[in-house]
Homo-oligomer: A and B are copies of this chain.
Amino acid sequence: MGEAPVGDGKGAALTRRGLLVGIGAAGGAGAMYAAMGALGLAPSAQSKEFTAPRQGDFTLRGKGSAKVVILGAGVAGLTAAYELGKAGYDCTLLEAGQRAGGRNLTLRGGDRLTELNGPAQQVTLGEGGYFNAGPARIAPWMVTLDYCRELGIPIETFVNNNAAAYVHTNGRTTRARTARADMYGYVAELLAKATDLGALDKTLTKDDRDGLLEFLRRFGDLGPKLDYEGSDRRGFTKFPALDAGTPIPAPGTLHQVLAAGTGRAITNDFGYEQATPMFQPVGGMDAIVTRLQEAVGQDRIRTGAKVTKITTLDDGVEVVHTGGSVKADYCVAALPPHLLAKIPHNLGPQISAALATPVPIAAGKIGLEYGRRWWELEDRIYGGATETDLDITHIWYPSHGYHSERGLLVGYYNTEHEAELYGALTPEDRRRRALTQGKKIHGEKYRQNVLSSVSIAWERQEHIQGGWVRWPAFDSSFTLLQRPAGRVYFAGDWLTHLIAWQAGAMESARGAVTQLHQRVLQSP
């Protein structure tokens, strides 16, 4: 661990540790802890910013670290091991599957994907091709990006909104830019007219009306009479060049535009989770798993070790698994709650009930590899998504490898009923159905030149059995599991308000690590 000088770095080379040891010697432990708090070094569940455990935390107190067994080597488990490892905790991860990463799964040529009650798939993507079968995008405010920075994982933009992509609703296909221009145009016209008619005179001052009309003209690209008569924002059949171009034909009527039902699609990125821009690790999301594994130490991860019993004891915890048993001082249980709920334990009936509360949600994806990036060459779609009301929900275009020969589309990314529907099909039938649906948008080329495909039904992954979970309510069961049960801590995206995001797994792991470390430091 490097020791950063205190202050602005311009003063004497007094290190934090040196300062604290000095304070500790002079004023005792109380003075030292107070100083640690002032320097932002004291770990605390209340602190807004996470402070990673560090070797110095023990050195200062003359204590040793502890032995921790972590159940599940998904993102939560790996993050917990990584952060605890910074202070020298002796961590062992038990992973039921044959690989670490959990839902962070990037498939490449040569991989083999098995499912419950279904045939295995041999992945035959071309060299350099990959399919992020689980998480695929990161919002910039998420802690996931901090880990990318800390672990030296290069990132690139994930295009989450593309004006050139399509909206397919009620059997009709429109460019997103067209759907948006029309809806905004008519909304602006309607409000401008209502304002002009005096309908809002009780609500709006003269200044408000002027400001509102100025905005609406811009927002809807309205004409001089506050009418929406179309707009070059809708796009062109021939874009401007030597001449002014050929705009696509005039918009439908207000009635037609409203009936088209494009509203959900064009507001898709309005939330704080999906807002532009988003990011992805270069080369595949599993770079996060790979780097965490390297930092934790491959030898600490026991794969093929399915947990069969958890016992918390006065002086430690005992975990039995299919390959033996582990005794440790503490346990971090970072498995999906619906799987944890099935493992015998002595943590009490309240814990059992709480673990059984969240409801697993099905989620599925298919990767379709093409020998030609026709979406770039012909549709001029570079990344982004086509939103549909079909059972495929979305089509995602790749945000990397632009202009290369091959490319991989996500042909569906659906959840709940639609995911279950596809999940119940054979891989071949999933592919056939996805291609039939996508053809409704892109025409026959969508079914041509498909080099390979691979699909996943997360509810059919043996040791995961769901895309994520939904809590009926964030109630006392949720908060109960955010605290330890005996010597067992729980972790996972399911224990946060960032469910289905890796950031949730990481935040939860940090929360468990903070509590565990504080307990170890405070133990007699």
A contacts, CB < 8 Å to B:
48, 140-143, 145, 148-149, 154-157, 159, 161-164, 177, 181, 183-184, 187, 190-191, 193-195, 197, 199-200, 203-205, 207-208, 211-212, 214-216, 218-219, 221, 232-233, 235-236, 238-245, 254-255, 258-259, 261, 263-264, 267, 270-272, 275-277, 279, 380-384, 399, 402-403, 474, 482, 495-498, 503-504, 507-508, 511
Contacts and interface: CB of A to CB of B under 8 A. Distances in A.
A193 B187 contact: no
A110 to B, nearest CB: 26
Contact of A191 (B143, B145, B191): B191
Contacts of A279: 382, 402
A149 B403 contact: yes
A243 B479 CA distance: 9
A140 B275 contact: no
A195 B190 CA distance: 9
28 contacts: A148-B403, A154-B403, A157-B157, A157-B277, A157-B399, A187-B187, A187-B191, A187-B212, A194-B194, A194-B195, A203-B254, A207-B255, A208-B255, A208-B258, A211-B259, A211-B261, A211-B263, A218-B263, A219-B270, A233-B272, A236-B272, A240-B496, A240-B498, A241-B498, A242-B511, A244-B474, A276-B276, A277-B383
Contacts of A208: 254-255, 258
List of 9 A-B pairs having minimum Cβ-Cβ separation, nearest first: A199-B199, A157-B157, A163-B275, A194-B194, A240-B497, A211-B258, A215-B263, A241-B507, A149-B403
Contacts of A497: 240-245
A402 B155 contact: yes
A239 B141 contact: yes
Contacts of A156: 156-157
Interface-centre pick from A183, A403, A507 (highest chain B CB count, 10 A): A403
Given A148-B403, A277-B162, A382-B277, A48 B238 contact: yes
Contacts of A507: 241-242
A156 B279 CA distance: 12
Nearest to A271: B233
A60 to B, nearest CB: 27
A381 B194 CA distance: 38
A165 B164 CA distance: 23
A500 to B, nearest CB: 12
A194 B199 contact: yes
A242 B272 contact: no
A244 B499 CA distance: 11
Contacts of A164: 140-141, 275
A370 B26 CA distance: 41
A496 B242 contact: yes
Contacts of A255: 205, 207-208
A119 to B, nearest CB: 33
Nearest to A221: B270
Contacts of A254: 203-204, 208
Nearest to A153: B403
Given A157-B157, A267-B218, A272-B233, A200 B194 contact: yes
Name which of A154, A261, A382 has the most chain B CB atoms within 10 A of its CB: A382
Nearest to A162: B277
A52 to B, nearest CB: 16
B496 A241 contact: yes
A215 B402 contact: no
A343 B507 CA distance: 67
Nearest to A143: B241
A235 to B, nearest CB: 6
Given A161-B276, A236-B272, A187 B241 contact: no
B276 A162 contact: yes
A218 to B, nearest CB: 5
A495 B242 CA distance: 7
B219 A203 contact: no
A131 to B, nearest CB: 20
B203 A193 contact: yes
A271 B184 CA distance: 13
Contacts of A203: 190, 193, 254
A145 to B, nearest CB: 8
> Which of A233, A270, A495, A504 gathers most chain B CB within 10 Å?
A270
